Amino acid sequence: MCAKVLVLSHMYPNPVNWHAGIFVHNQCKALMKEGVEVQVVSPIPSFPFYYKWSGYRRLPRQTEIEGISVHYVPTRMFPGGFFFSTYGSLYQKSLHPVLAELYPKFPFDLIHCHTIFPDGNAGVRLKEHFQVPIVSTIHGSDIMLYPKRSKGVYKQTLFALKETNQVVTVSRRLQQEVESIYQDVRIQTIYNGFDPNRFQPGDQTAARAKLGLPTDKKICLFVGNLYPVKGLSYLLQAFSKCTRQSDQIRLVIVGDGKLKASLQREANALGIAPLVSFVGRQPYDEIPTWLQSADVVVLSSLSEGLPSILLESMACGKPMIATNVGGIAEILQDRETGRIVPARDAKKFADALIDLLIHRTDQTEEMGEKAYRASRAFTWAENARQMVSIYQHVLS
């Protein structure tokens, strides 16, 4: 497909956080392989003298990441998420002059926004001036959590849903939530993907040797941000119950975030601190090795869209124990490719851990093989082919 697509995403990888929105970047790469010309505009936080955002002030205004031109646009945002309902308007204000300057050099045919709010809201505010259609992908929190924050955010989300030419969700569960807000929405579900050249089964012993992990223990692995929505306190409680039945299990937590210190204190209070490793945020290129090192991958989220780590762990031939939120149950088959447990239920999570890591260890390998086979349907190449069909429909 020969089309020029401008991607608008505030969650796009940058030198401050290379993990941010890596799934958006991966989709862009796959789209380019399908013949789509892509450039990215990414609003970055700007607020005077706020030290936590000082790194963004040093970002280049334009760079290239793996062949994709990325424009970082300083945008007024407020610490603590204050005045969040105004972010669509603030995005529009900062993006408009950048897009006006960019358009003569890159006359984009459509704008693809990632999140319906704030990005999609800004997109529909911009479309009248540039006379191009808007596609918005909903990833999870932008429909499951943000509209519940205030009436203002709900109103701006509804406005974006009504004015967007095509909405895409990454799970059917999210699609149902969208339709409960606005029944006449033009919507389709397209699942996220993974890169099979990067995520694949590997030698567990070699992976552990490379990472300095014990080869004689069972390892359950968490990969993600240390944020409240990830439900990590429930994971620590579940792991604590598990260790009462065996001291041959270790929990490895890959990621960083504002809860790290409090989670470390909780692990200490539960008496499991020596058995839990907080290894911090790791380079994305090394995540496959961490996954290959594990026996089981765990996800204790309270809310999700379709987490990339689910598909990536399956691609590495690992079963996952995950909470039944978002679109997880649409991909993960309970007792076939992993285990699904209720959110906020440390006991049920512990039971699943004990079952796979202590009582029925032979199941983990069988589930992992089934997970690998099931993952073949969810590559970024397949995702891009479906997105191209969306683009063609919208542009016609």
Write down the pLDDT at residue 81.
87
DSSP string over 358-383: II-HHHHHHHHHHHHHHHTT-BHHHH
For 253, the token pair is 């937590």
> Do 343 and 318 form a contact (C-beta atoms < 8 A)?
no
Rg (CA), the chain: 21
Contacts for 53-61 with beta carbons within 8 Å, 24 or more apart?
A: 53/79, 55/15, 55/16, 56/14, 56/16, 58/15, 59/14, 59/15, 59/16
DSSP string over 14-38: BTTBTTTTHHHHHHHHHHHHTTEEE
Domains and CATH numbers, the chain: 3-193+379-395 (3.40.50.2000), 204-375 (3.40.50.2000)
Helix (H) or strand (E) holding 158: helix 151-163
> Do 153 and 181 form a contact (C-beta atoms < 8 A)?
no
Cβ-in-10-Å burial (0-12, 13-18, 19+) of 88 comes to buried
User: How far apart, in whole angstroms, are the C-alpha atoms of residue 153 and residue 325?
Assistant: 22
Look-up of token digits 């808007």: 134
Write down the pLDDT at residue 360.
81
Kindly report the pTM of this predicted structure.
0.90
> Do 234 and 304 form a contact (C-beta atoms < 8 A)?
no
> Do 108 and 290 form a contact (C-beta atoms < 8 A)?
no
Write down the pLDDT at residue 1.
67
Q: How far is CA 390 from CA 7, 117, 212, 300, in A?
A: 14, 20, 45, 33
Write down the pLDDT at residue 359.
87
Cβ-in-10-Å burial (0-12, 13-18, 19+) of 182 comes to middle
Contacts for 258-267 with beta carbons within 8 Å, 24 or more apart?
A: 258/226, 258/227, 259/226, 259/227, 259/228, 259/232, 260/226, 263/226, 263/232, 263/233, 263/236, 266/233, 266/236, 267/236
Question: Tens place of pLDDT for every residue, the chain, 396 residues?
Answer: 679 999 999 999 999 888 888 999 999 999 999 999 999 999 999 999 898 899 999 999 999 999 999 999 999 999 988 999 999 999 999 999 999 999 999 999 999 999 999 999 999 999 989 999 999 999 999 999 999 999 999 999 999 999 999 999 999 999 999 999 999 999 999 999 999 999 999 999 999 999 999 999 999 999 999 999 999 999 999 999 999 999 999 999 999 999 999 999 999 999 999 999 999 999 999 999 999 999 999 999 999 988 999 999 999 999 999 999 989 999 999 999 999 999 999 999 999 999 999 988 888 999 999 999 999 999 999 999 999 999 999 998
Write down the pLDDT at residue 319.
96
